[in-house]
Structure 1
Amino acid sequence: MARMTAERLAKAREQEKTISAEDLAKVKGLAESMAKPIRSFIFKTPDEEGMTYESLSIQSDDGTALEAWYIPAKEKSDKLVIFNHALPMCRAGFPGHFGMPWAGFDAVEIDFIIQYKHLTDAGYNVLTYDFRNHGNSASANGGIAGIGNFEWRDCVGVKKWVDAHPELSKMKVALYSQCLGADSQYRAMLERPELFENVQCMVNPLVVNMPFIFDAFSELYGINQYQELIDLELIKLGGFTAEECQAANWAHAVKVPTFIMQVKNDEWTRQPDDGMKTFNALVNAPEKEIFWLDSTKRFRDGYNWFGREPKMVLDFLAKYMG
């Protein structure tokens, strides 16, 4: 399949000739922010919330070294949640409260550690990891984010590691996969379906289809007429076009009960179109639910939702994990 149609490529080339220097800088900046995300750092660890943990290095399916934590449940348990993160975050969350450069993306703290606390207190062991090019994990693919097109291999590598582990392989498994993590997990289920046959259920906060993200951001920056040129800039960087980075492209491979959460009136995506495109594409999920968070207009607040209001997620997990 062509990366861009001949018509769209011709339009992008014409846009290159007529765009102002100011708008071109915005186009290039938007493309680079997605294709080459800033690295978040580990600004908090599980012991700060009273949890014990083990630091691990796990190989992705292509050999990329992924840094991870295993956090045992408060009491002995046979239940495991594999937890991953969004772009440009890490397993600790997002350090926007530390100022630049992270505050340039958003000046907010997103805390995943308290979410692990909710899970371990509720009887779940947690395995969480940094994607390639994020946190403390190794660089790969020239540092380019694939929005699932590369990172699915990380989901596969982690699951293979679990399946080979003498204790974790015997546990019931659920997935908590958000944003970039959800896109990657869907693609992993498409590429290696046999690995995920024993997954009990999956939670997907803020799963995304990138055309909606680029439409919203480019409108914010006043460059909405340059979607074709944005795609061309992504290709030049070694990344993927917006159409190639969609959870809905791979959602048919999901065959487990799935809970999606979206921010109803968020300012960073087009809702309900984005969320419903994914939800409707989950045609093989035996059960599916979608929850619309309407207490905020900020997409990024959705990442802290489970930390602040854990009941709905815990009830969903308990329904399928026993």
Structure 2
Amino acid sequence: MTEVPTNEAPRLSDDQIMGVLQQIADRFSQPQRSPVLHTPAEQNLDYEDVTFPSLDGVPLEGWFIPAAGSNKLIIANHPMGFSRSGIPTQFEPWHSGWVSSGNGFEVNFIPDYKILHDAGYNVLTYDLRNHGLSGAANGGIVSSGIFEARDVVGSLQYVRNRDETRDMTIGLFSRCLGCNSTFFAMTRFPEVFNEVRCLVAPQPVTTQTILAHRLARAGVPANRIEDLEQRIVLGTGIRFAQTDPKEWAKHVRIPTFLYQVHDDVLTQPSDVQTMFDNIPIAEKQLQWIYGTTARFDGYLEFQRRPQPMLEWFEKYMA
């Protein structure tokens, strides 16, 4: 059963509750696209604008950042509501949607790519469907990994068919929705990952867990989660039980490093802990981030303290 933290949110009328439920359902089902505000040029990185198809043909837009003389490649997948360059949460409408949970600050992913490049990795990063500059698909909805898994597969097919990358050693850096999508791709298309060496996975999350916490912070009674699910089903056709990365984690077969803000007010430690426990191999690690309750600090952890993740990549991609 999903645990919900207590909070001191104001008591809401039924009409106000209905409005909050619809707002959360709308923002979750079809989040505002984040623009691609930054480029690798800001970190003096050479890069190529690339486009390639998802498994089902959706056009995906991305960057290929070469590392001269390297035969190692990291494919980076972004969180829900972000683009490959991050999320401009210092601006509206993103600020209003995140500031109440302490996440009203920008996340810029370009420094991540600089760190990976300087460590000797080529990088492919791209916008998932219905995000950034990639194509619209499936009615514009975000599916918590079900449809987005096809994008993960498409990125692997792309690098295996591109002349200069086809023989490279591959690792994955899959954040949040990117991790959920990777887990589901491993569940549905396990053969695609046969030659992938490892996965670094910040902050995967179960849909019901994060939405239950968002309701609690908005002052909505916990029993209204069923009303919220019904609204999401009407918008997407997808129920919470269909999007459970804890179950998908049972299909992970490559060395996996998970990390998560332990006291993230939008989730709970047991969510990621269960995913970790369910990964059925010995080559796995879970690292907690302490000293913050802001989820976005987890997305910035790599650029602040990258050594544990770089050591994981080095260990399994050497």
With the length of structure 1 as denominator, give the TM-score of the two structures. 0.91
Q: Which deviations, in whole Å up to 9, do the C-alpha atoms of 1:240-278 show, x marking residues without a partner?
A: 2222222112112110000000101111112x2111111
Checking the alignment, whether the CA contact within 8 Å between 1:35 and 1:239 is kept in structure 2 is no
Q: Which residue of 1 aligns with 2:82?
A: 89
Q: Does 1:290 align with 2:283?
A: no
Q: Which residue of 2 aligns with 1:136?
A: 133
Checking the alignment, whether the CA contact within 8 Å between 1:42 and 1:90 is kept in structure 2 is yes
The alignment's C-alpha RMSD in Å is 1.2
Pairwise mapping of residues 107-146 of structure 1 onto structure 2 (< 5 A)? 107-146=104-143
State the identity %: 37
- Separation in structure 2 between the aligned mates of residue 116 and residue 292 of structure 1, nearest angstrom: 22
- Separation in structure 2 between the aligned mates of residue 23 and residue 138 of structure 1, nearest angstrom: 34
Q: Give the counterpart letter for 1:250 in structure 2.
A: W
- Separation in structure 1 between the aligned mates of residue 64 and residue 20 of structure 2, nearest angstrom: 40
Q: Does 1:220 align with 2:217?
A: yes
Pairwise mapping of residues 22-33 of structure 1 onto structure 2 (< 5 A)? 22-33=16-27
Q: Give the counterpart letter for 1:79 in structure 2.
A: K
- Separation in structure 2 between the aligned mates of residue 289 and residue 110 of structure 1, nearest angstrom: 25
Q: Which residue of 1 aligns with 2:97?
A: 105
Q: Which deviations, in whole Å up to 9, do the C-alpha atoms of 1:71-112 show, x marking residues without a partner?
A: 012x31000000010010010011112x11111233211111
Aligned residues: 300
- Separation in structure 1 between the aligned mates of residue 278 and residue 139 of structure 2, nearest angstrom: 31
Q: Give the counterpart letter for 1:96 in structure 2.
A: T
TM superposition shift of 1:20: 1.8
Checking the alignment, whether the CA contact within 8 Å between 1:206 and 1:262 is kept in structure 2 is yes
Pairwise mapping of residues 163-202 of structure 1 onto structure 2 (< 5 A)? 163-202=160-199
Q: Which residue of 2 aligns with 1:16?
A: none
- The one of 227, 230, 234 aligned to 1:229: 227
Q: Does 1:42 align with 2:36?
A: yes
Checking the alignment, whether the CA contact within 8 Å between 1:52 and 1:71 is kept in structure 2 is yes
What's the secondary structure of 1:167's corresponding residue?
coil
Q: Which residue of 1 aligns with 2:266?
A: 268
Checking the alignment, whether the CA contact within 8 Å between 1:214 and 1:242 is kept in structure 2 is no
Checking the alignment, whether the CA contact within 8 Å between 2:143 and 2:236 is kept in structure 1 is no
- Separation in structure 2 between the aligned mates of residue 316 and residue 307 of structure 1, nearest angstrom: 15
TM superposition shift of 1:239: 4.5
TM superposition shift of 1:24: 0.7
Give 5+ residue unaligned stretches, structure 2.
1-12, 99-103
- The one of 52, 70, 86 aligned to 1:58: 52
TM superposition shift of 1:286: 4.0
Q: Give the counterpart letter for 2:92 in structure 1.
A: M
Checking the alignment, whether the CA contact within 8 Å between 2:197 and 2:255 is kept in structure 1 is yes
